[in-house]
Structure 1
Amino acid sequence: MPSRIQNQPLHKDFSGIEKEFEVCLSNGFPMLFFPDNIEKQFLCDTQESRKRSFLVTGLIAVFLYNLFLLTDIQMVPDIWKLAWTIRICIITPSMLLLLMAIKKNWLNSKLEYIVDLLVMITTVSIIIIYDLSDHHNASYYHTGIILSVMFGNIVVRLRFWHAFIISWTTFILYIVIVNRIHNFEPANIMNSIIVCFTATAISQVANYQMELDERYNYLRSKIKEITNLRLSISRDELERISTIDELTGIANRRLFDSAFDKEWRVALRYQAPISLIFMDIDEFKAFNDFYGHQAGDECLKKVARLIKTNVHRPHDLCARYGGEEFVILLSDTCLDSAMVIAEKMRHSLDSAKIPHQNSKVADHVTACFGVACLIPSIEGFHSELLENADKALYMAKESGKNTVIPYTSKIGCK
C-alpha cells in the first residue's frame, strides 16, 4: 500500500492531510490507536522497517533460545533429552520457518501475528519443559520465562496490545504451572510469581512508552514531510514564474540568457554549430494603436503559440526577448536548417491571418526574421552571435518586412 503523501500527485495544498496529523498529535492517543485512515497508513509505512527488525531479532532469539541447551542437562537432568528434542526438533525449526515466511513475504498482511506466534511458542516451550521436570532445579526455569517475555516486549517490540495479551497470558500459565510443582516451597512460589509479575509489568510499561514515542515521531515526521513538500513546490513555482514570460507563457529573457550561455559552452566543447533566430512583429505599434493594448496582448500570445509549434527538440528554446520581439535558440543547428525553421514560422504566422488592417505590409499580422549561426571558438563570445542575428533582423526590416534574412559576411561588412 503506497504512502498517501509520497506517492500521490503533488498538489499545492496539503492542508487537509496536515490537519489530520496535527489534530491527532494534539489530541494524543493513550490507547495507542490513530483514527482508522491514519492507523492503516502508519502500519503500512512502518511495515518494512519492522520486518527488517524482526528478522534480526528473530535470529538473535534462535541463538539465545538454543544457548540454554548447555544448561538443560544440569537444570532438568531427568528430562534433558526431551528438552533437547523440544528445542532442536520442534521449536527451532518452527522459529526458522516463521522467519523464512517473514523474509519471503509469504504472509505480509499477517506480519505482526507471525511475530506474536514466534514469541509465544518460544515462551510456551519453556513453560512445558518447566512443567515436565520433577527435578528441584527446574524451579529456576522461571528466569527463562521472564527473559522470554522481556525479549518480546523490549527487544522485538511487539505492538503494545499484542504484547499485552501474550505477556499476561504467559503470566497466567506460569501461575498455573508453578503451583503444580510439589517440591517448591510456598514462599518460593510467591516470590517467583511476584518476580515474574514485576518483570512483566516493567517490560509492558517500557513497551507502551516505546510505541507511544514511535507514534508521536511518526506524526511529526509526516507533518515535516508535508512542510518540505510544500516548500519544494513553492520553490519550483517561484523558479517557474521567474523564467516564464507572464503574458505569452513561453520562456522569458532571463531563461534565454541562461540557456544560451549553457548551449554556447556545449557547442564550444563539441565544436557544433549554434543558431539564433530573431523575430519581430511587423508594424506592431500600429496594431496596438488601431486595436488597443488588450488586443495587442492577445496577438502576442497567438504569435508565441505559433512559433513554438515549429520548435520540437528539448534543447531548443523559444523566448520573448522584449516587447514584440522573440528569439529562438537552436542548438547543434546549421544556418540552412535554421533558415528552414524560420521560414516555417513566417509561413505559419502568414497562414494564421491574424487581422491587421493598419499594417503597411499586409492585411494581417506578419513578421520579419533574422537568422545567424556560429561554431563557437575559444576567442569568441556569444554576444557576437546575438549581434549577427540582430543585424540580419535589421536587414529583414529594411527589405520590406515579412521576410527571412540570414546573416552573411556581406551584411557584416555593412
Structure 2
Amino acid sequence: MLDLGPIDLGPVSADSAEQIDGLLSKGFPTLRFPPELERRFQLDTAADRLRVIIITAVLVVVLFNGYLLTDALMIPDVMAQAVTLRVGLFTPVCLIGLYILIKTPSPFYREVLVLLAGVLATGITLYLLSISKDPLAGPYLVGMAMVVMFSHSVAQMRFWMAVVLDIVIALGIAVAWPYIPPAPIEVMIPLAMVLISTVTFTLFGCYSLERDERQNWLLRVRESNLMAALKTANERLDKISRADLLTQVANRRHFDEFLAKVWDRAEIDGSEVALIMVDVDHFKAYNDQYGHPAGDECLRQVAATLKRRLRRPGDLVARFGGEEFIAVLTGTSLPVALQAAERIKVAIERLRLPHVGSPTSSFVTISVGVASLRPIDRGVTQKGLLSQADQALYRAKNSGRNRVWPDPDSGGGT
C-alpha cells in the first residue's frame, strides 16, 4: 500500500540544531545542507514531493500526446513517427516509470526519473524536427519552451536537476540543428529569445521555490525542536514540582493531589483507602550526632526502603515533611495495611543504620501510624483519614516508638 504520510525523524541533534541556526543566518546559496540535514530534508519532504510528481506525470502524458495536433499542423510529413514515439514509446515508458517511481524509496532517484522523463520528451521532439522536411520544423523548436516550463514550473524540478535538463536541451538543439530545415532569421532570433527567456525565468523560479521550501523546512524543524525542548523542560519542571528533591519520592503537593484522585475513585467503586504515616525516631538527635549530610542520607535510605516495600502501581510514597513520610494504599483494608506497615518497620531495622543518640535503639527505627477508611461510608472524609493516621502515629510515638499503631478506634498497636 502506498504511504504518502510524513516521516517523523524525531528531534535533531545539538550539532544539527547549530547547523540550522547557521543556515538560517548565513543562507545556503548552493541549495545544499550538511549531509545529515540534507538526508532529513529529502526524507521529510518526500511525501509531498511524490504527490506533485504523480500528478504531473499524469498531466505530462496527456499534454505530450496532445501535441500530436501541433505535429499534424507543423510537421505533417512525420506524423506516423510522431504517433509511434508519443503514444507508443513515451506514454508506456512514463507509466512504467511512474510505477517504478512510486516504488522507489530514494528521493534522489525519484528526481532522476523525473529528469529522464524530461530528457526523453526532449529527445523525441528534437528527433521529429530533425527528420522532418517541413519548413515549419525550425519554428516548431518553440515547443522546447513548453518542455522547459512544464518540467521547471509544473513538475517543480529540483534546481540542479533543472540545470542538468537545460544543458541536455541545449546540447540536443546543437546536435539536431544541422538536420532541421532552415527558417528565416527573423523567425529564429525571436524564437531563440523565447527559449533563453523561458530557461532563465523558470530556472530562477526553480531556485526560489526550492530555496523557500528549504528555508521553511528549517524553520519548521527548528520550531519543532524548540517545542520538543520546551515540552521536555516542562515535564522536568512538573516532575520536580511533584517530587521531593532530596529523597526522590513524591512531595506534599503531589500527595494531596494523588489522595484526592484516589478518594474520588474509591467513592465510585466502593474500595477502601489506607494511609501509612511514618516518622523517623529521634531524628533530631541523629542530625546532632552525625551531622546534616548523614541525616540526609538516612532520609534517602528510609524513602528508598518505603518505595521497595510498597511497589504496587496504585500506591504512592511521599515525604510529608521533615523526617515524616506517608504512603497511600489504594483498595487496602486496615489489616492488610498494618501488615505492610510492619514489613516497613522491620525493613528499616534491617538497614542497621547506627543511631547511638537514640534512647529507643542503637539503630535507626521508625514509628508508624496506620488508618483505613471507605469513602462511601457516612461521615468519612479525606481530612478525617489524615487525622486518624496522624493520631495513630502519635500513639505509636507515645507508646515507646519503633512500633506500628492502627486506627485509634481499633484499640491497640503491635
| TM-score, normalising length: structure 2 | 0.89
Residue aligning to 2:115: 116
- Structure 1 residue matching 2:246: 3-state secondary structure: coil
Output the CA distance in 1 between the equivalents of 2:250 and 2:262.
15
Do residues 268 (structure 1) and 267 (structure 2) align? yes
Per the alignment, do residues 280 and 209 of structure 1 end up closer, same or farther by CA in structure 2, a change over 3 Å counting?
Answer: same
Unmatched 5+ stretches in structure 2: 1-6
Residue identity in the other structure for 1:388? Q
- Report 1:159-174 matches (<5 A): 159-174=158-173
- Report 1:339-378 matches (<5 A): 339-377=338-376
Residue aligning to 1:195: 194
Bigger CA drift: 50-59 or 248-257? 50-59
- Structure 1 residue matching 2:317: 3-state secondary structure: strand
Shift of residue 149, structure 1, vs aligned partner: 1.0
Shift of residue 378, structure 1, vs aligned partner: 8.5
Contact 2:289 2:357 in 1 (8 A): yes
Output the CA distance in 1 between the equivalents of 2:103 and 2:196.
37
- Report 1:168-183 matches (<5 A): 168-178=167-177, 180-182=179-181
Shift of residue 121, structure 1, vs aligned partner: 1.5
Residue aligning to 1:20: 19
Shift of residue 108, structure 1, vs aligned partner: 5.2
Give the number of equivalent residue pairs. Answer: 405
Residue aligning to 2:392: 392
- Structure 2 residue matching 1:78: 3-state secondary structure: helix
Shift of residue 278, structure 1, vs aligned partner: 0.9
Residue aligning to 1:11: none
Cα deviation code 1:184-238 (max 9, x no counterpart): 3232222222211111111011111112222222333333233223322221221
- Report 1:37-76 matches (<5 A): 37-76=36-75
Shift of residue 75, structure 1, vs aligned partner: 4.2
Shift of residue 143, structure 1, vs aligned partner: 4.2
Output the CA distance in 2 between the equivalents of 1:107 and 1:43.
9
Do residues 338 (structure 1) and 337 (structure 2) align? yes
Residue aligning to 2:3: none
Contact 1:83 1:129 in 2 (8 A): yes
Unmatched 5+ stretches in structure 1: 9-13
- How many percent of aligned residue pairs carry the same amino acid? 34
Residue aligning to 1:405: 405
Per the alignment, do residues 378 and 119 of structure 1 end up closer, same or farther by CA in structure 2, a change over 3 Å counting?
Answer: farther
Residue identity in the other structure for 1:369? V
Per the alignment, do residues 96 and 398 of structure 1 end up closer, same or farther by CA in structure 2, a change over 3 Å counting?
Answer: same
Residue identity in the other structure for 1:308? K
Selected match of 1:6 from 11, 18, 27 = 11
Shift of residue 261, structure 1, vs aligned partner: 1.4
Shift of residue 137, structure 1, vs aligned partner: 5.0
Output the CA distance in 2 between the equivalents of 1:216 and 1:69.
41
Bigger CA drift: 373-382 or 246-255? 373-382
Residue aligning to 1:283: 282
Residue identity in the other structure for 1:239? D
Per the alignment, do residues 222 and 337 of structure 1 end up closer, same or farther by CA in structure 2, a change over 3 Å counting?
Answer: same
Shift of residue 124, structure 1, vs aligned partner: 2.4
Bigger CA drift: 48-57 or 233-242? 48-57
Output the CA distance in 1 between the equivalents of 2:151 and 2:37.
26
Bigger CA drift: 131-140 or 116-125? 131-140
Residue aligning to 2:299: 300
Output the CA distance in 1 between the equivalents of 2:381 and 2:65.
77
Residue aligning to 2:81: 82
Bigger CA drift: 56-65 or 136-145? 136-145
Residue aligning to 2:242: 243
Per the alignment, do residues 135 and 331 of structure 1 end up closer, same or farther by CA in structure 2, a change over 3 Å counting?
Answer: farther
Output the CA distance in 1 between the equivalents of 2:233 and 2:245.
17
Output the CA distance in 2 between the equivalents of 1:106 and 1:243.
46
Cα deviation code 1:32-79 (max 9, x no counterpart): 233444334433433333223322222232232233345544444333
- Structure 1 residue matching 2:309: 3-state secondary structure: coil
Per the alignment, do residues 381 and 67 of structure 1 end up closer, same or farther by CA in structure 2, a change over 3 Å counting?
Answer: farther
Residue identity in the other structure for 2:52? S
- Structure 1 residue matching 2:169: 3-state secondary structure: helix
- Structure 2 residue matching 1:309: 3-state secondary structure: helix
Output the CA distance in 2 between the equivalents of 1:164 and 1:345.
76
Cα deviation code 1:121-161 (max 9, x no counterpart): 22322222333333445455434321221121122222211
- Structure 2 residue matching 1:336: 3-state secondary structure: helix
Output the CA distance in 2 between the equivalents of 1:339 and 1:63.
82
Do residues 325 (structure 1) and 324 (structure 2) align? yes
Residue identity in the other structure for 1:284? F
Contact 1:178 1:189 in 2 (8 A): no
Contact 1:175 1:193 in 2 (8 A): no
Output the CA distance in 1 between the equivalents of 2:218 and 2:86.
42
Shift of residue 178, structure 1, vs aligned partner: 5.0
Output the CA distance in 2 between the equivalents of 1:190 and 1:337.
99
Cα deviation code 1:243-265 (max 9, x no counterpart): 11121111111111111112222
